[in-house]
């Protein structure tokens, strides 16, 4: 298992994580054993947005005796009312629900205290002004939550979260289909309408959100990476072609700022299938060819950091150079943090010999040689 630093939290999280929402589908013993199995395989981060007692009990029992080797995303504002999930900022429900989470986890802290699911400006304003956000800060000051996070599907809200200065990481929905859609306050709209629209690559606002997270060192964990399974089925996929789990995992992990993708599991075999990504060949991870050859939609001319451009005769990491170039030119001035990251590369754009072999391999027709020249000018090396 590979591990990545989750932004400014400093936590070293497994790049394949555990999304816990399917746990309640199964017998408790089965789900406890499934979590323990995933942990033995190297998974060390789990998300618990679920307020139901069964799911929380399962996670608590699975972590018993090894709590300090897990990183938990525990949500604040996800409540259980009359046997139903209710998202709320009403402290009459918020505080008891979070205290219940701690009790069922058999823990006195949560590693990542998540401001739960904000997609609308109205909800953002409600959450950020009043007793709810005061409670979040109180928990943080007391060490009950070690780091403050937020979950959203809306890049507009994500950008606001980054700009607060106190939110250290974000749980965000990422997959090739979602990335083509503009920001919306209605999550349900993200699942439909693709057949009636013409898309040409990543929506600029989503791309800007990723860049901002990378620049500000805000770690991203990924939800909905498989688009509810639709991307596995050519007939249901907006692209008209099917992807594999390894390809979709790789897509998420190549987005700027991303540290971990949280997959849902029903069986040990599904855990094994996700973890198999770590030893997969480049050909197995190749999402770019799927997108480029799809009958619907295109990323023409856009670098998706897929790595098809490798190998470079002078060993330039072209995907990383392109990523830093995109991060740099999105700002009036090059952020010093991005400049430092670029300088740390073993080989920079100025070493490009203009052979254009990378361009022949690029599925999206990116003019790599020209970008290398521009990058060298931007960074001065």
Query: pLDDT at position 199, please?
Result: 65
Token pair in block for residue 322: 């392109």
Token pair in block for residue 197: 């629209």
The sign of the torsion formed by the CA atoms of 5, 9, 14, 18 equals negative
Query: pLDDT at position 205, please?
Result: 92
Query: pLDDT at position 200, please?
Result: 67
Query: pLDDT at position 341, please?
Result: 83
Q: Do the Cβ atoms of 51 and 83 come closer than 8 Å?
A: no
Return all residues near 16 (Cβ < 8 A) that are at least 6 apart: 1, 42, 43, 249, 260, 261, 263, 274, 275, 277, 278
Query: pLDDT at position 229, please?
Result: 86
The Cα–Cα gap between 69 and 80 comes to 28
Query: pLDDT at position 331, please?
Result: 74
Q: Do the Cβ atoms of 174 and 225 come closer than 8 Å?
A: yes
Query: pLDDT at position 158, please?
Result: 97
Query: pLDDT at position 44, please?
Result: 98
Which stretches of 161-293 are assigned E, i.e. beta strand?
169-173, 219-223, 258-264
Query: pLDDT at position 247, please?
Result: 96
The Cα–Cα gap between 150 and 160 comes to 11
Using DSSP bridges, classify how beta strands 169-173 and 258-264 pair: parallel, antiparallel or unpaired: unpaired
What DSSP string describes 242-265?
Answer: ---HHHHHHHHHTSTTEEEEEEE-
Q: Do the Cβ atoms of 18 and 1 come closer than 8 Å?
A: no
Q: Can you state the angle between helices 155-164 and 204-216, rounded to 10 degrees?
A: 20
User: At which residue do the structure tokens 């898309």 appear?
Assistant: 199
Q: Do the Cβ atoms of 342 and 298 come closer than 8 Å?
A: no
Mean pLDDT for each consecutive 10-residue tract of the chain (381 residues)?
97 96 89 97 96 95 96 97 94 97 96 96 95 98 98 96 97 92 78 65 89 93 91 87 94 96 94 96 92 77 84 92 84 82 90 92 89 92 90
Of 145, 156, 161, 152, the residue nearest 216 (C-alpha)? 161
Of 194, 192, 150, 187, the residue nearest 172 (C-alpha)? 150
Q: How far is CA 355 from CA 93, 148, 358, 369, in A?
A: 63, 47, 8, 8
């Amino acid at each position: 298992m590979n591990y990545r630093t989750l932004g400014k939290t400093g936590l070293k999280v497994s790049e394949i994580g555990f999304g816990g929402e399917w746990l309640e589908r199964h017998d408790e013993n089965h789900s406890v054993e499934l979590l323990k199995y995933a942990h033995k395989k190297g998974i060390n981060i789990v998300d618990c947005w679920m307020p139901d007692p069964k799911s929380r009990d399962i996670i608590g029992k699975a972590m018993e005796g090894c709590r300090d080797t897990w990183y938990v995303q525990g949500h604040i504002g996800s409540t259980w009312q009359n046997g139903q999930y209710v998202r709320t900022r009403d402290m009459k429900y918020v505080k008891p629900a979070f205290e219940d989470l701690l009790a069922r986890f058999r823990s006195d802290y949560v590693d990542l205290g998540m401001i739960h699911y904000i997609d609308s400006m109205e909800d953002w304003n409600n959450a950020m002004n009043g007793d709810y956000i005061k409670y979040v800060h109180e928990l943080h000051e007391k060490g009950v939550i070690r780091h403050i996070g937020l979950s959203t599907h809306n890049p507009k809200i994500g950008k606001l979260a980054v700009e607060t200065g106190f939110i250290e990481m974000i749980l965000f929905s990422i997959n090739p289909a979602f990335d083509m859609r503009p920001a919306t306050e209605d999550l349900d709209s993200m699942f439909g309408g693709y057949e009636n629209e013409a898309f040409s690559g990543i929506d600029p606002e989503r791309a800007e959100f990723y860049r901002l997270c990378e620049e500000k060192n805000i770690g991203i964990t990924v939800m909905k990476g498989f688009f509810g399974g639709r991307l596995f089925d050519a007939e249901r996929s907006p692209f008209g072609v099917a992807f594999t789990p390894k390809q979709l995992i790789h897509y998420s992990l190549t987005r700027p700022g991303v540290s971990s993708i949280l997959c849902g599991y029903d069986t040990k075999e599904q855990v094994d299938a996700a973890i198999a990504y770590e030893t997969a060949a480049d050909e197995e991870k190749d999402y770019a060819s799927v997108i480029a050859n799809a009958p619907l939609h295109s990323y023409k001319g856009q670098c998706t950091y897929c790595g098809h451009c490798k190998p470079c005769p002078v060993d330039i990491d072209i995907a990383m150079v392109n990523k830093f170039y995109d991060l740099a030119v999105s700002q009036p001035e090059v952020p010093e943090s991005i400049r430092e990251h670029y300088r740390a590369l073993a080989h920079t754009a100025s070493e490009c010999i203009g052979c254009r072999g990378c361009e022949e391999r690029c599925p999206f027709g990116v003019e790599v040689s020209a970008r290398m020249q521009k990058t060298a000018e931007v960074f001065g090396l």
